[in-house]
Structure 1
């Protein structure tokens, strides 16, 4: 049976430098996803043209720079992550090659075999964030699961998280003791009748 061997990671994108190559619909989708998750993400978007919707989206995003020019390998300099976000597969492959040469992790839109990471569907309720991956097989299923979870999770989750943090901060003992006590407190969340 095939399994998903991806290791889920949540990047602090306000601390990283991210390059997005492409100013069309695909670029808009990727920039929008990044800014939805972190409005202060540090993004440089390189393209020969930009959709007006992309320009409008980043107008109030202080850490996003639009650079209207042809992509070059120098654009990878100082970047931590890159996203090839065009609908031109040959060009995206060229961007992938430059990222690999620069040792920059890259996501190539609609080409799972060239991706070092995926931008998964994300469910968020306050501080709770759940990422969903189908290992690149079906972003549509991930989107549908996101909708189900978004509706199923109560809006009061953030209040619960705040209270649990207060409890965690007050618990005495070493790490093992704290985990044991927190497991007892939260056991009610997973108990079945």
Structure 2
């Protein structure tokens, strides 16, 4: 059995309300990751201070609200996900405790034991998105793998996806027949690797 028991999911962040607590370097990193994956994400950022880089980043995103104040329990109201990204360990633990009591999923930056979910390294080629997790063991390895995959996967993959989507919509027959046809069409993606072995 694998030691990694994480269940990978992809959140439709534009349908969720996300709270980020922290306006420093880590907060900027998390907000940047969220917005790069979903520019229409609905975010509320609560912090006593905001880095200029963070303020500059979010100014063109109307779904992002910046609230300059200390964290309070009321900030969790109506939120679906929380990311605690302050440089105050005790405050991060407090946010975690409050989120847990409110049944809100939380990620405490750089503290795997206080995370209900991780933000993995992401590889994207158009509609294709691959998330990489090392189960919180080594974000550095995840970032390196991201670099490798980003370079190895051809940009043309997105065009292939679009064509297969059109073909799938035009295929007749039952589910099994459609799967068989699509498998035959995509054999080329794996046959080179098969011939190597």
**TM-score above 0.5, yes or no:** yes
**Distance in 1 between residues matched to 2:6 and 2:169, nearest whole Å:** 32
Residue in 1 aligned with 2:22? 22
What is the TM-score normalised by the length of structure 1? 0.98
- Shift of residue 180 of structure 1? 1.7
**Distance in 2 between residues matched to 1:29 and 1:122, nearest whole Å:** 14
- After TM superposition, list the pairs within 5 Å mapping 1:120-131 onto structure 2: 120-131=120-131
What is the TM-score normalised by the length of structure 2? 0.96
How many pairs align?
193
**Distance in 2 between residues matched to 1:157 and 1:188, nearest whole Å:** 12
**Distance in 2 between residues matched to 1:15 and 1:179, nearest whole Å:** 30
**1:158 aligned onto 2:166:** no
**Distance in 2 between residues matched to 1:98 and 1:79, nearest whole Å:** 12
Unaligned runs of 5+ in 2: none
Unaligned runs of 5+ in 1: none
- After TM superposition, list the pairs within 5 Å mapping 1:1-193 onto structure 2: 3-191=3-191, 192-193=194-195
**Distance in 2 between residues matched to 1:115 and 1:176, nearest whole Å:** 39
Cα deviation 1:60-109 (Å, max 9, x = unaligned): 01100000001001100000000001122111000000100110000000
Query: Which aligned segments of 4 or more residues in structure 1 are displaced greater than 4 angstroms?
Result: none
- Shift of residue 2 of structure 1? 5.3
**Secondary structure at the counterpart of residue 26 of structure 1:** helix
**Distance in 2 between residues matched to 1:174 and 1:102, nearest whole Å:** 45
- Shift of residue 162 of structure 1? 0.6
The two structures, once aligned, show a CA RMSD in angstroms of 0.9
